[in-house]
């Protein structure tokens, strides 16, 4: 039985995330098609010699990251979502995403933020997120929740 509070929470969820989610949904086929190692190449030196090895990321991945940074999904306190749920490893993280509901928006935001923001300063984080299908699974879970909310 739906209560007025349930309807209010659903509407708030839709208002907060619908527009931004619609911007991320087009990336689903990209993440379904890529496995991690194919989203970055080592710098080839064409723009000038470098003694450091660093990745050059796929343009679509970079567009996704830049877009994410401008959305309501970013939560700079993302570590609290992990701490509250005692998530300490990849398996727990993946299970939490799979089992997330509308009330776990902080977790979904936390996962997305963690991998977007940490990828800005640590090599390989974005590749790991693509390989483990984290970006894909978070977007799909948000879409599943949004579709449910719109039927509510």
| Position 49 confidence tier, pLDDT thresholds 50, 70, 90 | very low
Contact indicator for 141, 13 with CB cutoff of 8 Å: no
Taking the CA atoms of the chain, what radius of gyration do you get in angstroms? Answer: 17
pLDDT digits (tens, 9 = 90+) for 88-115: 999 999 999 999 999 999 999 999 999 9
Task: Specify the pTM.
Answer: 0.87
Measured in degrees and rounded to the nearest 5, phi and psi for residue 105 equal: -60, -35
């Amino acid at each position: 039985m739906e209560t007025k509070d349930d309807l209010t929470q659903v509407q708030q969820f839709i208002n907060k995330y619908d527009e931004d989610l619609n911007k991320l949904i087009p990336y689903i086929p990209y993440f379904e098609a890529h496995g991690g190692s194919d989203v970055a190449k080592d710098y080839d030196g064409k723009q000038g010699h470098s003694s450091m090895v660093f990745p050059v990321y796929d343009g679509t991945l970079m567009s996704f990251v830049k877009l994410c940074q401008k959305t309501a999904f970013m939560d700079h306190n993302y570590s609290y979502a992990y701490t509250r749920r005692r998530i300490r490893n990849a398996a727990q993280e993946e299970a939490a995403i799979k089992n997330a509901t509308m009330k776990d928006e902080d977790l979904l935001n936390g996962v997305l933020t963690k991998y977007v923001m940490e990828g800005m300063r640590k090599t390989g984080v974005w590749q790991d997120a693509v390989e483990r299908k984290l970006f894909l699974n978070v977007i799909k879970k948000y879409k599943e929740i949004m579709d449910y909310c719109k039927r509510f």
